[in-house]
Structure 1
């Protein structure tokens, strides 16, 4: 069985565990989007420690599985992989979202468009160093999440939601792809790492 807790990530268990429904394994990509910056007025990135404290404190009700800092590679995990998290809207009696798979692993990347880190402004997540992405991806893949975007790899803050696709296809989804939700993040996401060549 794969690791319930991502190796190398800080474990900060909020103790709010509940099973998923089974079905195709999924991962959902989010950004924290804690500030509204523009190219004309970029803003400093919110400290990682602030979001870590939020998701383990007053923000437990919307905590993801993982908070990921793409600038340093730091990760903090709040619930085990076999539990649902609560980062998605999930209306009573509607389409299942947080539980709709054997796993529904949710990752909040610490990012907002035009954030400033060490004096440099970043327009999109894929422009960041994406530190730690290879290890994060490997852990998610170990849970059977395919390297595919059933509704298309995110490329801008547009939303496309199709309940029939969400219900039957495993893979990676943007928050902008999930039924019952109105967010348009993450905008972009790093490419899947290429597999290491096999030895002859």
Structure 2
């Protein structure tokens, strides 16, 4: 039987006794940002998510507090009468302490407030969040997928940018989304959250051990790395594609630049059309400029 409390979470801010919620089987995760630097009180539970994560900058880790069991509804979404269900529709919710607003980020930075600007979150925070995602996938079958685009704040506020799901899309959705995607809501958090990287980490792709330093150097592409070829650097290409969120690549990790690797490279080019070979609609060759950009997306600098 699945565990209803995350092993790394404290239950010191538990709200189920006052707000029992509705039973449900989760298949969707919704990401919020608190727009605070401290632990919110959530009106003593009246507006609480399932869980909150707050950074511990001294130890470079996330500290988790769980507020409701995984299989009970939380309360951080608007649920208007006469529409669709939000909080109760198989939805796990996590609030990330920090901000998604570039203006707030600059104000806090100028004021010396330690915080995470989640569109540019440090690797240790993304890695700890990925551990939670992986646990939720194993214990509760929330898929390690996301079929929505995380827009930058404030474009992500409201519905004018087209990111908000329709009632039908929400009713049929599973995987990870943001507050900005949920119908009947207008909030824009968590902004341009790096969801691809978190999901890649959660799948175990290129995730450094706790004591290891992640690779940080940009390298050149060898001339022999081409579709259909076998080359030692293809292994690195596949790892980078997975880490940047363009996987999974069936059969990886190998030295063969086969059909599945080509499909992943084509997905990369679809997301970066300016890097496509001129006149090619489906570009499966990574190229030197594409390889540099891919390394950056995978976290190298």
Question: What TM-score, normalized to structure 2?
Answer: 0.53
* Stretch moving more, 187-196 or 140-149: 187-196
Superposed, 1:105-184 pairs within 5 Å as 105-112=92-99, 113=101, 114=105, 115-116=108-109, 119=112, 124-129=117-122, 130-131=124-125, 132-142=128-138, 143-152=140-149, 154-157=150-153, 158=156, 159=159, 160-161=163-164, 162-184=166-188
Considering only aligned residues, what root-mean-square deviation do their CA atoms show, in Å? 2.7
Following the alignment from structure 2 to structure 1, what is the Cα–Cα distance between the partners of residues 21 and 137?
21
Aligned length: 177
Structure 2 residues without counterparts, runs of 5 or longer: 206-251, 253-301
Deviates more, 1:177-186 or 1:140-149: 140-149
Deviation at 1:86, TM superposition (A): 0.4
Quick check: 1:64–1:87 contact (8 Å CA) kept in 2? yes
- Structure 1: unaligned runs, 5 residues or longer: 35-45
What is the aligned partner in structure 2 of residue 88 from structure 1? Answer: 77
CA distance in 1, matches of 2:202, 2:63: 22
Q: Distance in 2 between matches of 1:116 and 1:2?
A: 41
Is 1:65–2:68 an aligned residue pair? no
1:63 CA displacement: 0.3
Gap change, CA 1:21 and 1:8, over 3 Å in 2: closer
Q: Which is helix-richer, 1 or 2?
A: 2
Which structure is larger by alpha-carbon Rg, 1 or 2?
2
Provide the residue aligned with 1:13 in structure 2: 14
Asked if 1 retains the 8 angstrom alpha-carbon contact of 2:142 and 2:175, the reply is: yes
Q: Using a 3 Å threshold, how does the CA distance of structure 1 residues 194 and 164 change in structure 2: closer, same or farther?
A: same
What SS does the corresponding residue of 1:69 show, helix, strand or coil? Answer: strand
- Bigger relative contact order (CA 8 A; separation at least 6): 1
Q: TM-score normalised to the size of structure 1?
A: 0.77
